[in-house]
Amino acid sequence: EDQVTQSPEALRLQEGESSSLNCSYTVSGLRGLFWYRQDPGKGPEFLFTLYSAGEEKEKERLKATLTKKESFLHITAPKPEDSATYLCAVQYSGTYKYIFGTGTRLKVLA
Amino acid sequence: GAGVSQSPSNKVTEKGKDVELRCDPISGHTALYWYRQSLGQGLEFLIYFQGNSAPDKSGLPSDRFSAERTGGSVSTLTIQRTQQEDSAVYLCASSPTRGQPQHFGDGTRLSIL
């Protein structure tokens, strides 16, 4: 069965303490992997799309990478405003539906 | 520019009533998705529209759920004979075409008493 698993479920960091979030997937043929940020009471906000293993994307303190089985969202020197839930979604060959993970709740303490 | 707009933002109704949730996608976006997000859960796919093609309804949880998209723009998600387990946030997303990143509305929080 096609699945997307995110870890950890929750993460608390001190301001400036770098870390990584993981998204692992088991799908038959990846069309694309998407990262979103969701703030409480809001819809998800698009961050990155990755299409092939080895690809990397960066935006401010965030960097997303992709292998054949997983993706990482690296957060460098996070700030309190980076606190949010980070969602990973996979779109696989043969369909244009997305499978979402349950997210990682990130809290960055000042 | 205007983003995806959903209405109402909150809806409280009694068990057994019908509800309609509305989504106004970004102008020109041909793909439109509906999701359900329960507390602490990921997004559950419900239905997907692409242009004038037949929608992919494979995520609708029961025949009480239906959706339509008129004129390739506004979409309405209807839940008939609501049950308490239907309580969730219903999110709508649109994209320029299928396969491109989605833009989400802020959702409708549905509470069934």
Candidates B102, B106, B108, B109, partner chain A, best to mutate (most A CBs within 10 A): B102
Per residue in B21-68, pLDDT tens? 999 999 999 999 999 999 877 899 999 999 888 899 999 999 999 999
> Does residue A2 register a pLDDT over 80?
no
pLDDT digits (tens, 9 = 90+) for A73-103: 999 999 999 999 999 999 988 888 899 999 9
pLDDT in the model for residue A95: 82
Instruction: Give A1 to chain B, closest Cα distance, Å.
Output: 15
Give the residue among A72, A62, A77, A74 at the shortest CA–CA distance from A15: A77
In angstroms, rounded to a whole number, what is the distance separating the alpha carbons of residues B36 and B46?
A: 7
Distance CA B4, CA B23 (A): 7
Mutant choice from B34, B43, B90, B100 vs A, greatest count of A C-beta within 10 A: B43
A101 CB neighbours in chain B (<8 A) are: 42
Strand partners, B31: B50, B95
Q: Averaged over A68-75, what is the pLDDT?
A: 96
Residue A8 pLDDT grade (very low, low, confident, very high; cuts 50, 70, 90) = very high
